[in-house]
Every structure is written in structure tokens, then in C-alpha cells.
Amino acid sequence: MEFTPDGPMAIPLWINGRAYLTVGDSFFDVVNPVSGQAQHRVPMCGASEALTAVTAAQAAQPGWAAMGLPARQVCLEQLADALARYAGHFAKLLRQDVGFDEARATAEVSEAVTGLRRTSVGDNGVVGLVVDASQPLCGLVDMLVPALLAGATIVIKPSPKAPSAAYALCELATRADWPAGVLNVLHGDTAAIEGLCAAGIDRLLYAGQAALGVQVGGLADAAQVPFEMKAG
């Protein structure tokens, strides 16, 4: 990771199959809780960036759904294979962001690889997915896979404390020739979630600790967006 004179380098958003740069009013420093070192930073986004991400997901959704379930399963199998090849890199990202030890980081990546090969099917549409920092990769995959298999496209809002794995997974999917806009990443906190709800997502999913999930669910309820939580 390179550092600028003003601090650690920012991780951009991922929208429509590429890194998407935005100049926000504020940034969140991603600090390794073990070393206390700032690894990088993420822009704290709001309604404008959320609308851009949701618009990309909406544009990609009909084509992704039209591919059919067998083709989408192939895409997920290819992503699982790619994640397995880069397991060491993803484990390093988890160690840097949230301070997991090597065994826990390796286990989380292994669980995510297995999760990408599951065949449970959820609901179609455009989905916002909020993930906390407790299981930033396998928690994401658990909620992601059924939606993707159903033909849904996704805007991921990872925890600003642990954004790297979600961003890297989207980049890996693009390298595996996934259609642009199927997976997108929006950084931020409450304003980003409110922006997703206002931008016209069909439902909001949450993976992580229950206490934060209640707060996220409240934002969805206020916007009358269907909400589902998987508490870790």
C-alpha cells in the first residue's frame, strides 16, 4: 500500500465493472486494530454516489437475469476458483483490515470459497447489501450468492472498518469476465445506506452483528424498503 503525503491511499468505489473515483467531503481511516496502523481510507459517500451505483446495477440486472441459472452458476464457480487461487491475498486483506490472526483469516476465505459454490436461490431484483466488520468476506458471500443465483444485481456497502475484501472480490469477478454492473461497491455509513434506499433498490440485506442490523433495518423501514437480516 502506497501512502500520500496526506495519509493512506483511498480505496475507490467499484461501479459498473471498474474503479470509480469520487471526491467526498470526508474519509474514514481503516486502522488495523492490532497494530494501530492506518492501512488505507475510504470515502464516506451519500445519495449521489448511491444513485450512480444503483443505476449501474439496474442497467445490468435484465441481462444478468436473462443469462439463466446454469450460466450464473458457472460465473459463481469461476469466482470461487479465482478466490481459491488468491486465498493468501484475501487472507492478508482480512488481517490488515480487522486484525484477524492467520488461522482465522484463512478459515474465513475458505468458508467464502465454499459459500460461492452453494446453490440456494433467493429473490430477483436490485439488492443493497450491508456487511459489518465481523465477517467481512464470508458474511458477504452468504447473502450474496442466493441473490445472484436468482438473477439479482448487487450494490455492496461494506463496513468502512473492513472494505478491502468486498472491493477485491468485485475486482476478481470482473477479471473473471462477469458482466459490468452485477457487483458494485459503495463506501460509507448511514448516509450511504439512506442513499441506497432512496435510489430505488428492491430490498436491503444485512449480514453481521444483530445490534447494527437493527439500526440498518430501521433505515430500511423508514424508506419502506423490504429488509432481511442474517445476524452473525
pLDDT in tens, 83-127: 999 999 999 999 999 999 999 999 999 999 999 999 999 999 999
Residue 54: per-residue pLDDT? 98
Start-end of H helices in the chain = 47-66, 69-85, 87-98, 102-116, 138-150, 164-175, 190-198, 210-222
d(CA 140, CA 132): 9
pTM confidence score: 0.94
What share of the chain has pLDDT > 70, as a percent? 95
pLDDT at residue 8, rounded to an integer: 57
pLDDT at 16 over 50: yes
- The domain limits of the chain are 3-231
Between 24 and 192, the higher pLDDT residue:
192
- pLDDT of 150 strictly over 60: yes
Q: Whole-number mean pLDDT of the chain? A: 93
Q: What is the pLDDT of residue 10?
A: 85
pLDDT, average across residues 6-29: 83
Beta bridge mates, 127: 154, 203
Q: Give the per-residue pLDDT at 44.
A: 94
Q: Higher-confidence residue: 40 or 46?
A: 46
pLDDT confidence of 37, banded at 50, 70, 90? Answer: confident
pLDDT tier for residue 2 given thresholds of 50, 70 and 90: very low
- Specify the pairing of strand 126-131 against strand 153-157: parallel
Residue 5 pLDDT: 37
* 157 or 2, higher pLDDT: 157
Class of domain 3-231: alpha beta
pLDDT band at 3 (very low <50, low <70, confident <90, very high): very low
Banded pLDDT at 4 (limits 50, 70, 90): very low
* Residue located via cell numbers 469477478: 173
d(CA 144, CA 146): 6
Q: Which residues of 129-149 are buried (b: 16+ CB within 10 A; e: fewer)?
A: bbbbbbbbbbbbbbbbbbbbb
Which of residues 36 and 229 earns the better pLDDT score? 229
Q: What is the Cα Rg of the chain in Å?
A: 16
Distance between CA atoms of residues 221 and 40, nearest Å: 33
At 160-188, the pLDDT tens digits run: 999 999 999 999 999 999 999 999 999 99
